[in-house]
Amino acid sequence: MPSVPDIRLENLTVGYEGKAVVSDIDVVLPGGRISVILGGSGSGKSTLLRHILRLEEPIAGTVCFGDHDICRLSKRDMHCIKQRIGVLFQDGALLGSLTLADNVALPLREHTRLSRKRIQEIVEGKLALVGLEKFLDYYPNELSGGMRKRAGLARAMVMDPAILFCDEPTSGLDPVTAADLDQLLLEMHRTFGMGMVVVSHDLANMRAIADFVMVLGDGRVLFQGTRQELESVDDPYLRRFLDRKAEERQGPRVGETAVDASVMKVDCSRYWSMGK
């Protein structure tokens, strides 16, 4: 099994154009484990992931893979690190002009000198792992959302990465498909011994796979620790999040006298009666 480095985020502030989205992150994502970055919509999870992958430059602080501060690595060294990681994007991010087999084969063709036959074998093997061995010649637009994610997972796995990053792997999937994908991630983790960093807002996904959890909210890290520790926290925001309770809203509510619902109502009855 490959040695999997910790990912250390030190005094990290991430954001765009100098505006911080999440500040003062001091977290160690343990190597060889499944770490889940959890948070509500707009909490900065995907922004943080983009900074960890060095798709963006941080406003302050460092991101270290083991002993390597990736913010200071040369392009060449970063290139080497990128060959040791795999990334599953939110909708798979498969190249639309390539078939599934070509998409999965792409990193092998670009980075190795393997023969066509060997590449074909590896591609078929990886696609079989995710249950897509019968769809080799399909194009991404011919697949469902879940299949695209699984294909994206096969591509992310094709170079046998030490760390796999997944951005919202279960978003937009029905509960059964989402559970299947969780199971697949767990099997991959157990079989190949890789570390995983999963960005998610899906509690079921977190509860199914997480060893280590980091919760983002309010522009900062609200929690870091094991899944069990998270389940027993008392913090009101985290409790509401974990128990899926709605936040107390200020101002009038729908149905209360302060809001005249008739003002907002649109009379659509004439559309329904059309054609009768």
Partner 1 sequence: MSQDKSTLSTPVAALGRVTLAVLARLGDMFLFFLESLALIFSSPSQFPKAVRQTYFIGVGSVLLILLIGLFTGMVMGLQTYYALSKFGSEGFLGAAVALAVVRELGPVLAAIMVTGRAGSSMTAEIGVMRISDQVDALEVMGINPVSYLVSPKLAACLVSFPILTTFFDLIGIVGGYVTGVALMGGNAGVYISRVQDSIEWGDVWVGYVKALVFGAIVCTVCCYKGYYTHLQQDLAGPEGVSSSTTQAVVLSSVLILLSDYLLTSIFL
Q: Which residues bind partner 1 (CB under 8 A)?
A: 50, 53, 55, 79-80, 82-83, 85, 87, 89-91, 93-97, 106-107, 109-111, 155, 165
Residue pair 180/9 in contact (Cβ under 8 Å)? The answer is: no
Amino acid at 108: L
Sorted by sequence, the CB contacts under 8 Å of residue 184 that are 6+ apart come out as 129, 130, 150, 153
Please report how close the Cβ of residue 177 comes to partner 1 at its closest, in angstroms.
21
Please report how close the Cβ of residue 113 comes to partner 1 at its closest, in angstroms.
9
End-to-end Cα spacing for the chain:
69
Residue with tokens 């190597």: 31
Please report how close the Cβ of residue 37 comes to partner 1 at its closest, in angstroms.
16
Sorted by sequence, the CB contacts under 8 Å of residue 155 that are 6+ apart come out as 86, 94, 103, 104, 106, 107, 126
* Alpha-carbon gap, residue 204 to 185, rounded angstroms: 14
Residue 60: exposed, middle, or buried by beta-carbon count in 10 A (0-12, 13-18, 19+)? middle
Between 9 and 158, name the residue whose CB sits nearer to partner 1: 158
Please report how close the Cβ of residue 159 comes to partner 1 at its closest, in angstroms.
8
Residue pair 76/146 in contact (Cβ under 8 Å)? The answer is: no
Between 78 and 233, name the residue whose CB sits nearer to partner 1: 78
* Alpha-carbon gap, residue 142 to 116, rounded angstroms: 25
Between 89 and 212, name the residue whose CB sits nearer to partner 1: 89
Between 106 and 238, name the residue whose CB sits nearer to partner 1: 106
Between 153 and 208, name the residue whose CB sits nearer to partner 1: 153
Sorted by sequence, the CB contacts under 8 Å of residue 246 that are 6+ apart come out as 240
Please report how close the Cβ of residue 276 comes to partner 1 at its closest, in angstroms.
37
Between 155 and 189, name the residue whose CB sits nearer to partner 1: 155
Residue pair 38/99 in contact (Cβ under 8 Å)? The answer is: no
Please report how close the Cβ of residue 58 comes to partner 1 at its closest, in angstroms.
17
